[in-house]
Amino acid sequence: MSAGMSAAWRAKQQKPKRCQRCELYYSASLDTCDQCATLSEAQLTLFKIKRQKILQKMRLSVNIY
């Protein structure tokens, strides 16, 4: 019984999908990613570079402390 309940719960709590284009997670209830839908290819490239720099900074700060 509890297994059936958790299955129902899991169906409600759908895991977000990962977008192949922008590599961000978006709601599984959506057909397409809404994070990069409005971005052009050029904007997407800039967006990825920006995010990579932020990640790098985060990694650096982790190493310092």
- The binding site for Zn ion (CB under 5 A) comprises 19, 21-22, 33, 35-36
CB 25 → Zn ion: shortest distance, Å?
A: 9
Q: Do the Cβ atoms of 21 and 44 come closer than 8 Å?
A: yes
Rounded-to-integer distance, Cα 11 and Cα 14, Å = 6
Which of 10, 16 has the CB closer to Zn ion? 16
Which of 19, 48 has the CB closer to Zn ion? 19
Q: Tell whether the torsion through CA atoms of 15, 54, 57 and 45 is positive or negative.
A: positive
CB 53 → Zn ion: shortest distance, Å?
A: 19
